[in-house]
Amino acid sequence: MQLELEQAKRRPMHVEGVVELPRIAQENPQVARIQPVVVRVDVDFTKSVYRLRAALATEVEYVCSRCLESFTAPLQTEFTERLRVLGTEAAADEDILTVDSPTVLLDPYVEQALNLALEYRPLCRGDCRGLCVECGCNLNERQCSCDTRRVDPRLAVLQDLLSKDDSE
């Protein structure tokens, strides 16, 4: 999605569009698929600086970090950027990004904002029980009969002694 910053010099502008970012799903293992992103941007111009305020909305198909089942969740986030065009006079500020041209491609800014807003360890639901460590069955769907008691390896010798006492 391209943005013509020069139009904001005359009056503030509002731009809406849709951006497809398949690379997000390719680079994030917890993301199976991402829908096209609806982008709404407001741009104003003050003292040689363009201020962008964007709202993003999409749906993400995640892979649950416990049970590995896919589920879909809405994702909404915002970002703000301050830009100046190379060669213009603007106050020195480390928060102002310098761009080469008044035509700006918004995709990298949208991608960065979405990457920061993604769930790092997504859960299909808050009480997801995950997979059995022995047989791998989904514990949300059925209970298995595996013995999942953990024994401290330092005490494993004592467990063997107890099993010999039971047989006598």
C-alpha to C-alpha distance for 136 and 76, rounded to whole angstroms? 34
Asked if 121 contacts 87 with a C-beta cutoff of 8 angstroms, the reply is no
pLDDT value, residue 162:
65
For the residues 24-28, what does the mean pLDDT come to? 93
Report which of residues 146 and 26 the model is more confident about: 26
For the residues 24-53, what does the mean pLDDT come to? 93
pLDDT value, residue 95:
79
Amino acid at 125: R
Asked if 46 contacts 17 with a C-beta cutoff of 8 angstroms, the reply is no
Closest CA to 41 of 51, 49, 50, 53: 53
Q: Of the ranges 38-47, 105-114, 155-164, which one carries the lowest mean pLDDT score? A: 155-164
Rounded to two decimals, what is the model's pTM?
A: 0.78
pLDDT value, residue 91:
59
